[in-house]
Structure 1
Amino acid sequence: AYVAEDDGEEGGAGGSVPPVTIPEPPRNPASRTGDLWILGDHRLLCGDSTSDDDVRRLMNGERAILFATDPPYLVDYDGSNHPTRNKDWSASYGTTWDDSSQGAELYDGFIAAAVAEAITEDAAWYCWHASRRQAMLEACWEKAGAFVHQQIIWVKDRGVLTRSHYLWKHEPCFMGWRRPNRPPKVAEETLPSTWALPSFAKDDRPDHPTPKPLDAFGIPMRQHVARGGLCYEPFSGSGSQIMAGEANGRRVFAMEISPAYVDVAVERWQAETGRDAILDGDGRTFAQVRTERLGDDAEARADTPDTDAAPEPARKRKTAA
């Protein structure tokens, strides 16, 4: 298995950064649907990744060479599949965006919008998924003219206890492209299809049932995207792929439907870089917008994190390291 090491070499594990504190999602977010935040070289739109118009606005005439994402797994997280702790994720995983009844419609939608507006013909495709949804995902790719070239396996350093016969200690990711346009490979190193990356201990586990380490996105970046090149993320969540891009010198244009998690991603990036996110079109900083929109609530949020916050449901929230 590929084991992450901070060796600083392109194509390997170089560019990984220590995990940073992920802000709590606010009960009353400053961001609004339609806000486009400029985070240095990255762009983050509070919008819908199944909407051609939203994706077109986000991309601003550019197209990405990497289409990597960790979308909703379309499984139910109500705690019933855990034999002991029975963690109930339903407060975070609203039925409007990550339940098993949605079927392939969501996947078909965000893939079609990406092909139409966001990615190059020879883009590399990576998609993390639940094992039970592999057939559905492969069918969605086939409808879009893409095929599964390989399956990547994330080998975790600890297992997840469920009611399954075996302890779950891995997650799969499809890698492929649209025929016949094989994507570029900019890294000299050829890695194995198993990636041994750290996972989360119970006490460190963020508010998400399938959190990813940054190198789950950093490795594909270093394999396919030259420094300064562009990646498209249709489900930004807490901004993990943005943070991976920041660490690896790649640009990320990301979409997130939940205003609360747009706030989380913006604050996470600001804390890591020491820079201000800017609202596209008028030059106001995130801090200025938050103060203008929330007033005293913004000051309270800055002083005292709301650990009981319950943000509005959205299709996906990734709170990876």
Structure 2
Amino acid sequence: MLKWQSKTVKISDLKEYEHNPRKITDKLLEKLATHIKEDGYHQRIIVDNDHTIIGGHQCKKALYMAGYDEDTEIEVLMPNRKLSADEVDRLNIRDNLSFGDYDFDILTDRFDMDDLLSFGMDQNLLTPIFDDLVLGGVEEQEEIDLPAEPKSSIGDVYILGNHRLMCGDITNADHVTKLLDGSNPILMVTDPPYGVSYAPEWRKDAGLNNSQNIGKVLNDDRYDWSEAYSLFTGDVAYVWHSSSYTHKFAEHIEKCGFDLINLIVWSKNRFALSRGDYHHQHEPLWYAVKKGKQHNWQGKRDQITVWEIDNYSGGATDGEERTGHGTQKPLECMLRPILNNSKEGESVYDPFGGSGTTLIACEKSKRNCYMMELSPAYVDVIVKRWEKETGEIAVLDNNRSPETL
């Protein structure tokens, strides 16, 4: 059994722990030194058997500032045996939760979020730090071909790790019930067809898009998706849409019991070529919350309503994307709402799966995704995309592996 005993050692014999994540501002260090001058040193630094400091790095610095010399002997707490590396890390975090600040580069390099939470650190402190790591590590995948003959069919439900994907109709209550399987996602992040009749043929005819892999988006001439929104029972929604129909999308979202909180604008690094007088270089996103419900905000307080997120490749327009889906978003477009309005382990709903970007964002951020997609071909793409991301194999809900997609 691990026991602690009091020992007397010289201050100069205390060794700094090279992986200590704790740091302190000059002002706080001066304050700590003042306390020692006024009240004397009455705490005890915690050390390992070799005098490596586990808890009390700032105290050693403050002792010197308070006038103690290196030959001064102080009482420390020392274990009755040599500590393991894991024990040192755990005690180092737990014993340093109150005074000073953290070097988050060291923290995130040595620990994952679950470890730090188990050590007693505050989730509100950690979440923005680890969210930044997720956003900073986003990499777009290589292109996945759209199958000429889909393997999936209407009614299929796939289990992809902690996610569920259904080939079905989001306006069909029975399909939605089957997809959710008793779950109640708190957040909807979705990119429905825009009502712009997005047919890519004119781009190809004009020589602007040479991809052989572009598929037509089903229902792309429709913009009223009230039926889909009304079947979402959660509290928070993010809905991408065309600026030509911002007012219509607002009406439909409000009709389903939501308050519109903000209109977010994705500012692209290049314009999308169109046949209009002006070429669009932005895309709007409604942020809405059910009337009387909580926002479940988890993000930082410094966020603004203009998101500068790069398009995919240097020459890409809206039609030249990674999976052949005409309106596919960069991963960060779906990841930001997920990080801002949900916690790890919570569920996210996307009734318009498209190429599966929301599901991949959930995979990267440790959320559970419930996704519907009407097109069997794009269901195949989503499955392949997730398998490529994780190295795992999707299974159908009846516990048999699907045919090789």
Same fold judged by TM-score > 0.5?
Answer: yes
Specify whether residues 175 and 26 from structure 1 end up closer, same or farther in structure 2 by C-alpha distance, changes over 3 A only.
same
Matched, 1:148 2:269: no
Amino acid at match of 2:231: A
TM-score normalized by structure 1?
A: 0.77
| Count of residues in Structure 1 that have an aligned counterpart in Structure 2 | 272
Q: 1:211 maps to which residue?
A: 328
Distance 2:396 2:133 in 1: 33
Specify whether residues 47 and 88 from structure 1 end up closer, same or farther in structure 2 by C-alpha distance, changes over 3 A only.
farther
1:112-152 deviation per Cα after TM superposition (whole angstroms, max 9, x unaligned): 222xxxx32xx211000001111111111121111221111
Amino acid at match of 2:216: Y
- TM-superposed deviation, 1:182: 2.9
Query: Which structure 2 residues correspond to residues 78-97 of structure 1 after superposition, within 5 A?
Result: 78=199, 85=207, 92-93=215-216, 97=219
Is the CA contact (8 Å cut-off) linking 1:12 and 1:222 kept in structure 2? no
Query: Which structure 2 residues correspond to residues 132-211 of structure 1 after superposition, within 5 A?
Result: 132-201=244-313, 202=315, 205-206=321-322, 207-211=324-328
- Secondary structure, counterpart of 1:238 in structure 2: coil
- TM-superposed deviation, 1:265: 0.5
Distance 2:293 2:284 in 1: 23
Q: 1:108 maps to which residue?
A: 226
Q: More displaced, 21-30 or 258-267? A: 21-30
Larger RCO: 1 or 2 (CA < 8 Å, sep 6+):
1
Q: More displaced, 198-207 or 151-160? A: 198-207
Distance 1:284 1:83 in 2: 43
Q: 2:368 maps to which residue?
A: 251
Matched, 1:221 2:341: no
1:90-118 deviation per Cα after TM superposition (whole angstroms, max 9, x unaligned): x7326x6112xx452xx01211222xxxx
1:47-95 deviation per Cα after TM superposition (whole angstroms, max 9, x unaligned): 1111111111111111111111000011123455999646599x7326x
Match of 1:271 among 367, 381, 388: 388
Specify whether residues 211 and 9 from structure 1 end up closer, same or farther in structure 2 by C-alpha distance, changes over 3 A only.
same
- Secondary structure, counterpart of 2:186 in structure 1: strand
Distance 2:363 2:193 in 1: 24
Q: 2:353 maps to which residue?
A: 236
Amino acid at match of 2:400: R
Match of 1:36 among 151, 154, 157: 157
Distance 2:223 2:361 in 1: 30
Amino acid at match of 2:368: R
TM-score normalized by structure 2?
A: 0.62
Specify whether residues 208 and 263 from structure 1 end up closer, same or farther in structure 2 by C-alpha distance, changes over 3 A only.
closer
Matched, 1:284 2:400: yes
Specify whether residues 141 and 88 from structure 1 end up closer, same or farther in structure 2 by C-alpha distance, changes over 3 A only.
farther
Q: 2:243 maps to which residue?
A: 131
Where do 5+ consecutive residues of structure 1 fail to align? 1-6, 291-297, 299-321
Q: 1:45 maps to which residue?
A: 166
Is the CA contact (8 Å cut-off) linking 1:13 and 1:219 kept in structure 2? no
Is the CA contact (8 Å cut-off) linking 1:22 and 1:238 kept in structure 2? no
Specify whether residues 193 and 11 from structure 1 end up closer, same or farther in structure 2 by C-alpha distance, changes over 3 A only.
farther
1:5-51 deviation per Cα after TM superposition (whole angstroms, max 9, x unaligned): xx982454624421112321111111121111000000001111111
Specify whether residues 267 and 178 from structure 1 end up closer, same or farther in structure 2 by C-alpha distance, changes over 3 A only.
same
Distance 1:31 1:208 in 2: 17
Q: 1:308 maps to which residue?
A: none
Specify whether residues 236 and 42 from structure 1 end up closer, same or farther in structure 2 by C-alpha distance, changes over 3 A only.
same
When Rg is computed on C-alpha atoms for both structures, the one with the higher figure is: 2
Specify whether residues 227 and 171 from structure 1 end up closer, same or farther in structure 2 by C-alpha distance, changes over 3 A only.
same
Distance 1:163 1:13 in 2: 39
Is the CA contact (8 Å cut-off) linking 1:29 and 1:259 kept in structure 2? yes
Distance 2:191 2:231 in 1: 16
Amino acid at match of 2:167: C
Q: 2:378 maps to which residue?
A: 261
1:183-230 deviation per Cα after TM superposition (whole angstroms, max 9, x unaligned): 211234431111111103345534233321111111111111110110
Specify whether residues 208 and 156 from structure 1 end up closer, same or farther in structure 2 by C-alpha distance, changes over 3 A only.
same
- Secondary structure, counterpart of 2:230 in structure 1: helix
Distance 1:39 1:248 in 2: 15
